[in-house]
C-alpha cells in the first residue's frame, strides 16, 4: 500500500501541470522581490474598448503596464491613444480603480476590491495572470500543459478552453482571453524565476491560430514613482462611479431587454434626456455629445430577440436602424441590468 501511494505521489509530482505550477509560483515569488515592473507589448484590440477586450480580427495596439510592488500594489495599463486603467491607492473618493479613454473628458471609477479580477486576471498583467494560471494548474480543468526546457530558460505552454455559455449566441466568443480557446506561452528565467516573455494565441479553428498578445520587453526594478504610473494627462477628466444608483422608478426596469432596446433607441431618436440620462449612464461628457450627433433622428427598422453570450452579465439585442442621413446600420446593443434596481443600461454596441 505504501509503495502504491509513493508511486501515485511521484506520478502527480512529475506531471506537466505540477511543473507549470512550480514555475508560476517561482515567478510570483520573484515578482515579490522586485520593486517595479514595466511591461511593454502589443494587443489585438480597439484602443477605446475596455482593457480586457480582445479581437483577433483587429490590428495590434501598443500597450504598457507599470507596476510598483508596494503595499498596496500600484499599477496602470495604458493602450496607446486609447483606454487607461490604473490604481494609485486610496484617495478622497476611497479605494478605487480609475478608467478613462484618452481624448475624452469623462471617466469611471469603481471599488478596487473585486474589480481587479474582472478586468485584469484575464488580460495581461503578468503577476495577476500568473496567479490565475497557478490556481488553474492546481485544478487542471480543461487545460493542458507542456514544459520546454531551453537550458537557461524554460517555456510553459498552456492550452485552455473558452469559458462561458454560447448556446444562444457566439457573440462573445473570442472577445476576451477567458472567452476564447487559447494557447499561452510563458518564458521564465531559470536562475531568477522571473517572467521574461509572454505570448498568447487564440485558437480560431483547427486550421487557424492567431497571436493576440505578445510582449516586447519586461523590465524589472527600474526607477518608477506613483506620479509616473500614467503617461497621459487626466487632471481635467470628470470621473463618476460605475455603480448605478436608481433614485426613482424607471421605464427601463422590470421589462425584457428587447423592450428596453426599443425604448432607448426611440429616446435617442428624439434625444429624450429623461430616458437617456439613465440609459446612457456609462456615456457622459463629450462621449454623450458624440452619440447625439450620430444617432439623433434615427428610425427603428427592427428589434431582435435578446441573447446571452459568454461571461457577459447582460443581454445582446441586434437592431436595424436608419440614421438621419439615410445610412442603414445594424447595432448589436449590449444591455445590462445587474444593478440593485434592475434597470437596463446601455453598455456598448454603438
Q: What is the pLDDT of residue 42?
A: 94
Task: Name the grid cell of 289.
Answer: 455629445
Mean predicted confidence (pLDDT) in 126-141: 73
Contacting residues for 252 by C-beta, under 8 A, at least 6 apart: 260, 263, 264, 275, 278, 279, 337, 343, 344, 345
Orientation angle between helical segments 257-270 and 286-295, nearest 10 degrees? 90
Distance CA 74, CA 52 (A): 19
Distance CA 121, CA 119 (A): 6
Distance CA 41, CA 18 (A): 28
Task: Name the grid cell of 273.
Answer: 434626456
Distance CA 239, CA 18 (A): 44
Mean predicted confidence (pLDDT) in 220-235: 89
Q: What is the pLDDT of residue 125?
A: 67
| Ranges 30-39, 73-82, 236-245: which has the least confidence | 236-245
Q: What is the pLDDT of residue 118?
A: 46
Mean predicted confidence (pLDDT) in 299-305: 95
* Pairwise pLDDT comparison (136 vs 62), residue with the higher score: 62
Question: How crowded is residue 139: how many other Cβ atoms within 10 Å of its Cβ?
Answer: 9
Q: What percentage of the chain's residues is helix, strand, coil (to nearest 5)?
A: 25, 35, 40
What average pLDDT does the chain have?
84
- The predicted-structure confidence for 1-12, as pLDDT tens digits, reads as follows 444 333 333 334
Q: What is the pLDDT of residue 142?
A: 65
- The predicted-structure confidence for 158-190, as pLDDT tens digits, reads as follows 888 887 787 787 777 777 777 788 899 999 999
| Ranges 34-48, 91-105, 242-256: which has the least confidence | 242-256
Mean predicted confidence (pLDDT) in 254-262: 94
Q: Is the model's pLDDT at 240 over the cut of 70?
A: yes
Q: How confident is the model at residue 121 (pLDDT cuts 50, 70, 90)?
A: very low
Closest to 147 (Cα-Cα) out of 40, 26, 54 = 26
Closest to 201 (Cα-Cα) out of 187, 184, 188, 215 = 184
Structural domains in the chain, sorted by start = 14-240 (2.50.20.10), 244-348 (3.10.450)
Amino acid at each position: 500500500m505504501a509503495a502504491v501511494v509513493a508511486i501515485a505521489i511521484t506520478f502527480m509530482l512529475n506531471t506537466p501541470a505540477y511543473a507549470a505550477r512550480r514555475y508560476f509560483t517561482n515567478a510570483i515569488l520573484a515578482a515579490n522581490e522586485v520593486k517595479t515592473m514595466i511591461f511593454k507589448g502589443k494587443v489585438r484590440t480597439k484602443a477605446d474598448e475596455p482593457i480586457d477586450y480582445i479581437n483577433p480580427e483587429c490590428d495590434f495596439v501598443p500597450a504598457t503596464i507599470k507596476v510598483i510592488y508596494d503595499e498596496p500594489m500600484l499599477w496602470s495599463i495604458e493602450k496607446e491613444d486609447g483606454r487607461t486603467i490604473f490604481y494609485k491607492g486610496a484617495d478622497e473618493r476611497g479605494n478605487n480603480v480609475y478608467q478613462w479613454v484618452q481624448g475624452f473628458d469623462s471617466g469611471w471609477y469603481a471599488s478596487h476590491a473585486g474589480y481587479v479580477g474582472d478586468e485584469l486576471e484575464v488580460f495581461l498583467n503578468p503577476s495577476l495572470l500568473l496567479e490565475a494560471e497557478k490556481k488553474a494548474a492546481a485544478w487542471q480543468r480543461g487545460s493542458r500543459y507542456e514544459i520546454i526546457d531551453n537550458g537557461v530558460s524554460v517555456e510553459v505552454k498552456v492550452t485552455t478552453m473558452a469559458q462561458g455559455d454560447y448556446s444562444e449566441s457566439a457573440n462573445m466568443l473570442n472577445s476576451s482571453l477567458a472567452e476564447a480557446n487559447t494557447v499561452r506561452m510563458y518564458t521564465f528565467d531559470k536562475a531568477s524565476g522571473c517572467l521574461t516573455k509572454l505570448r498568447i494565441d487564440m485558437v480560431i479553428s483547427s486550421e487557424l491560430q492567431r497571436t493576440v498578445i505578445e510582449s516586447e520587453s519586461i523590465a524589472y526594478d527600474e526607477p518608477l514613482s506613483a506620479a509616473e504610473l500614467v503617461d497621459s494627462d487626466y487632471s481635467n477628466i470628470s470621473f463618476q462611479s460605475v455603480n448605478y444608483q436608481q433614485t426613482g422608478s424607471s421605464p427601463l426596469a422590470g421589462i425584457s431587454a428587447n423592450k428596453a432596446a426599443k425604448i432607448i433607441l426611440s429616446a435617442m431618436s428624439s434625444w429624450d434626456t429623461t430616458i437617456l440620462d439613465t440609459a446612457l449612464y456609462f456615456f457622459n461628457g463629450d462621449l454623450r455629445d458624440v452619440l447625439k450627433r450620430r444617432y439623433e433622428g434615427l428610425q427603428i427598422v427592427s428589434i431582435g430577440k435578446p441573447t446571452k453570450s459568454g461571461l457577459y452579465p447582460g443581454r445582446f439585442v441586434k437592431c436595424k436602424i436608419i440614421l438621419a442621413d439615410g445610412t442603414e446600420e445594424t447595432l448589436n446593443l449590449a444591455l445590462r441590468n445587474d444593478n440593485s434596481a434592475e434597470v437596463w443600461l446601455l453598455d456598448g454596441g454603438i
